[in-house]
Structure formats: structure tokens, C-alpha cells
């Protein structure tokens, strides 16, 4: 760990080993992964396991997979675990379909994937506030106003908007070294009118770590590692379904080829110049009652 906390200092230090294994630790700490499946019946496990294996077997037959390729797969799977990159792999290439299925009944705002870098209990900023950031934090200042309402249009007093995003170098606090613990992570609690006003900086396009196993797959397949610039949010209110979303910016060159397939047209923030060098946007959330 470094004690240099100036913007950009993490750039040369952030590695897949750091962010990948940090994401694994975070997952194991917060999500009680094994508790969630305790009640899954043997019939359900049998169904899902067989279905996944059938798809693998079919791929092998269709494409005449060789022993060399099978052994390369084995070596790569072992390395993904050693690198701690399973959260990264799953959230980039699988989570978007889980999210699609989990939220298809909703009438309120569209959401998208959480990704590997959420941390609960970010510092409380009230209804109007500035996300924790360093002096001289890079990026255009962004003022974001909005309201949180229920599907019937009523404001949801006390709703929480948890916001987290990468810095201008594409690094997340707590997952890359040299960044203050809660940098660019905050919790905003709306007032009785459901309104919030958040001050932050516009994020930059983001490249997933390329020096680990996920990066190896990307380069071996001739893919790219980019996600468009994005803000992550979780919006919650009593009696309503938790909304997990990301907001994107029109014109980003990776909006149409996000490596994580997590962009939707409903999730575009279109900030306009406010005249003083900053930009401003209005974008609110509608939550579905439970």
C-alpha cells in the first residue's frame, strides 16, 4: 500500500492481482454466498447443473474441441481462481443475463448489473451533498438532480441513493491501492419531496484489468477490455424493490460494445453545460413496490 493519495498515483500500482483478489474478498465478506443456496432443492441443482453441462458438451461436439484446447481451458480456469478473478469474470460475462431475468417484471426504472466493486455503507451525505473526493479530483464537475418516486408517482421520502464510480484513471477506491477509502463513494438520503442533488465528477471510460486471466481471455480472443464511462447506483426505499443501475453518457465510443453488455438506452444521462465549466443533469428513479 502507498500513502500517496494524489489523483493518478494509483495508475502504476493498480493490477489485476490487486483489484481481482480485492473483489473476491469483498464478495466473501458481504454476500454470504453459500447461505443463499442452502434451500435450493436437489431437483433444482440437478436441473441447472445438467443444463450447463449439456451446453458445454454440445459446444465440444459442435466445434470438435481437442485435448489441447481442453487442457488450455483447465489451466485457465485454475488461474482465474488463483488470480481471484471469478467475481470479475462472472460480472462481466454472465451477470447481465441474471439481471435481465430478475427484473423483467418491473414497471419502474430500468436497472443493470452491479459489477464487482460495490461496497455497502458509504458515508452519508444527506439529500444535497458532494460525494467524497480528493482535492483536485480529475474530471468535469457534475451536478445531478432527481427524485425517487414509486410507480404511482408518489415521492419516496427517506429513499437512499448509493453512488459509486471510478476516478478519471478508471480506478475504484478499496480495489486499487493509493486511493482514500471512500473516494467517489457516497450515500444520499432524499427528503420528504423525494428529491436529491448530488455533486460529483464525470467518470472516464473504464478498462477492466488486463494483466490477469480475464485479460488473457480478452487478448487471446481478440476482444477489447473497455466499458463506457459509467456511474453505479443502488436506489432503495422501504416496501420497494432495490434498484441497481448504471448511468452512461451519450457519445461514449463504448456504449455500443460494452465488454460487460450492461448498457441500455434508458440509462443515458445527458448532462448539459451549466455555463460555469460544470455540467448538470436531471435524472430520477421510479421504484416498484414489493
Site of interaction with Fe ion (CB under 5 A): 115
Give the nearest distance from C-beta 129 to ligand MBD in angstroms.
23
Q: Is 263 in the site for ligand MBD (CB under 6 A)?
A: no
Q: Is 247 in the site for ligand MBD (CB under 6 A)?
A: no
C-beta of 158 vs 205, nearer to Fe ion: 205
Give the nearest distance from C-beta 236 to Fe ion in angstroms.
19
Q: Helix axis angle, 86-93 relative to 95-103, nearest 10°?
A: 50
Among 7, 116, 212, 228, binds ligand MBD (CB under 6 A): 116
Q: Give the one entry of ligand MBD, Fe ion, none that residue 116 binds, where binding means its C-beta sits below a cut-off of 5 to 8 angstroms depending on kind.
A: ligand MBD
Asked whether 120 and 182 are in contact (CB, 8 A), the reply is no
Stretch that binds ligand MBD, among 41-49, 111-119, 184-192, 278-286 (CB under 6 A): 111-119
Greatest Cα pair distance in the chain = 63
Q: Is 146 in the site for ligand MBD (CB under 6 A)?
A: no
Asked whether 134 and 270 are in contact (CB, 8 A), the reply is no
Q: DSSP state, 176?
A: S
225, three cell numbers: 477490455
Among 80, 190, 260, 263, binds ligand MBD (CB under 6 A): 260
- Listing from the earlier edge strand, what are the strands of the sheet with 160-164? 185-189, 160-164, 231-236, 243-247
Q: For binding to ligand MBD (CB under 6 A), which residues are involved?
A: 88, 91-92, 113, 115-117, 206, 208, 227, 260, 262
Amino acid at each position: 500500500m502507498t500513502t500517496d493519495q494524489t489523483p493518478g498515483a494509483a495508475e502504476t500500482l493498480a493490477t489485476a492481482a490487486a483489484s481481482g483478489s480485492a473483489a473476491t474478498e469483498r464478495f466473501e465478506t458481504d454476500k454470504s454466498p453459500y447461505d443463499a443456496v442452502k434451500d435450493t432443492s436437489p431437483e433444482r441443482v440437478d436441473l441447472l447443473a445438467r443444463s450447463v453441462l449439456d451446453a458445454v458438451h454440445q459446444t465440444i461436439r459442435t466445434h470438435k474441441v481437442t485435448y489441447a484446447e481442453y487442457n488450455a481451458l483447465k489451466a485457465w480456469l485454475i488461474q482465474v481462481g488463483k488470480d481471484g478473478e471469478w467475481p470479475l469474470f462472472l460480472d462481466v460475462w454472465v451477470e447481465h443475463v441474471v439481471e435481465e431475468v430478475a427484473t423483467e417484471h418491473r414497471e419502474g426504472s430500468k436497472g443493470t448489473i452491479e459489477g464487482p466493486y460495490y461496497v455497502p455503507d458509504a458515508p452519508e451525505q444527506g439529500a444535497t451533498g458532494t460525494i467524497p473526493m480528493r482535492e483536485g479530483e480529475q474530471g468535469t464537475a457534475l451536478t445531478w438532480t432527481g427524485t425517487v418516486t414509486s410507480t404511482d408517482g408518489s415521492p419516496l421520502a427517506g429513499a437512499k441513493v448509493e453512488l459509486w464510480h471510478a476516478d478519471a484513471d478508471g480506478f475504484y477506491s478499496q480495489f486499487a491501492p493509493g486511493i482514500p477509502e471512500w473516494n467517489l463513494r457516497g450515500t444520499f438520503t432524499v427528503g420528504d419531496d423525494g428529491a436529491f442533488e448530488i455533486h460529483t465528477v464525470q467518470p472516464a471510460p473504464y478498462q477492466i484489468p488486463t494483466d490477469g486471466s480475464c485479460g488473457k481471455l480478452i487478448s487471446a480472443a481478440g476482444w477489447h477490455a473497455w466499458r463506457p464511462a459509467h456511474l453505479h447506483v443502488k436506489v432503495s426505499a422501504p416496501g420497494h424493490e432495490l434498484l441497481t443501475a448504471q448511468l452512461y453518457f451519450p457519445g461514449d465510443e463504448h456504449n455500443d460494445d460494452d465488454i460487460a453488455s450492461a448498457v441500455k438506452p434508458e440509462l443515458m444521462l445527458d448532462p448539459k453545460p451549466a455555463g460555469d465549466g460544470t455540467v448538470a443533469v436531471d435524472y430520477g428513479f421510479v421504484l416498484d413496490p414489493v
